[in-house]
């Protein structure tokens, strides 16, 4: 629902931060809220995941889209909820977690709070080989960092297009200098016209 919130950090607790944007303070749960102390009172960007369940609604915040993508992938594993996903992210670097999953390193994964052998094995079974895009950035198959293109590719994925469909148009778009909206329009034309 929300990709990110840009605003000033106005409060930091042991479980969450409050980021203020246009007079509204958003409570954002984080793996390690104290990582935001260096930007307290300054404008910053928090990448968010809006979690909705019958009995709960919460915003989870991350320093990068890649970290958020890893969190979302962890939520897809049976036995891991938001609390477990945050605990894993708080205790390890995303790159190390991905390497451990790909290397089937159960002992590394069982170091995280609430992760036993059975859950570690489930993480490996469900996510091994599926986290390559998270390692290098969600869709950064293109050579140059291009926020407009990245934003457009994420929007297309949110609209229901598969990774394969989206990646197929990247080579035709990466050399263009468009806004995110223009990239989306062009990508849709390319996908519809084959």
Give the residue, 139 or 160, on which the prediction is more confident. 160
Number of other residues whose CB lies within 10 A of the CB of residue 176: 12
Per-residue confidence (pLDDT) for residue 144, from 0 to 100: 46
Per-residue confidence (pLDDT) for residue 178, from 0 to 100: 85
Q: How far is CA 182 from CA 34, 97, 145, 173, in A?
A: 38, 35, 17, 10
Section 74-100 average pLDDT: 88
161-188 pLDDT, tens digit per residue, is: 877 788 888 888 888 888 888 888 988 8
Per-residue confidence (pLDDT) for residue 143, from 0 to 100: 45
Per-residue confidence (pLDDT) for residue 142, from 0 to 100: 46
Burial label for 153, CB within 10 Å (0-12, 13-18, 19+), is buried
pLDDT band at 190 (very low <50, low <70, confident <90, very high): confident
94-150 pLDDT, tens digit per residue, is: 888 888 898 899 999 999 888 899 999 999 988 888 776 555 454 444 444 567 888
**SS3 assignment for the chain:** CCCEEEEEEEEECCCEEEEEECCEEEEEEECCHHHHHHHECCEEEEEEEEEEECCEEEEEEECCHHHHHHHHHHHCCCCCCHHHHHHHHHHCCHHHHHHHHHCCCHHHHCCCCCCCHHHHHHHHHHHCCCCHHHHHCCCCCCCCCCHHHHHHHHHHHHCCCCHHHHHHHHHHHCCCCCCHHHHHHHHHHHHHCC
Question: With 80 as the cut, is the pLDDT of residue 89 above it?
Answer: yes
14-68 pLDDT, tens digit per residue, is: 999 999 999 999 999 999 999 899 999 999 999 999 999 888 899 999 988 889 9
List the beta bridge partners of residue 47.
4, 62
Contacts (Cβ under 8 Å, ≥6 apart) of 185: none
Per-residue confidence (pLDDT) for residue 168, from 0 to 100: 83
pTM: 0.66
Per-residue confidence (pLDDT) for residue 132, from 0 to 100: 65
């Amino acid at each position: 629902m929300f990709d990110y919130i840009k605003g000033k950090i106005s409060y930091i607790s042991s479980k969450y931060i409050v980021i203020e944007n246009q007079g509204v303070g958003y409570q954002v749960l984080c793996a390690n809220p104290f990582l935001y102390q260096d930007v307290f009172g300054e404008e910053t960007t928090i990448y968010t995941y809006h979690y909705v369940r019958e009995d709960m609604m919460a915003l989870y915040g991350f320093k990068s889209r890649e970290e958020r993508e890893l969190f979302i992938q962890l939520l897809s594993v049976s036995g891991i909820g938001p609390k477990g996903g945050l605990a894993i992210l708080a205790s390890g670097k995303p790159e190390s977690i991905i390497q451990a999953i790909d290397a089937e390193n159960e002992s590394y994964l069982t170091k995280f709070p609430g992760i036993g052998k059975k859950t570690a094995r489930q993480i490996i079974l469900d996510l091994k080989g599926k986290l390559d895009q998270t390692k290098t950035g969600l869709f950064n198959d293109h050579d140059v960092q291009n926020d407009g293109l990245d934003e457009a590719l994420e929007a297309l994925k949110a609209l229901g297009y598969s990774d394969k469909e989206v990646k197929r148009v990247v080579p035709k778009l990466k050399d263009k200098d468009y806004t995110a909206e223009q990239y989306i329009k062009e990508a849709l034309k390319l996908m519809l016209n084959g």
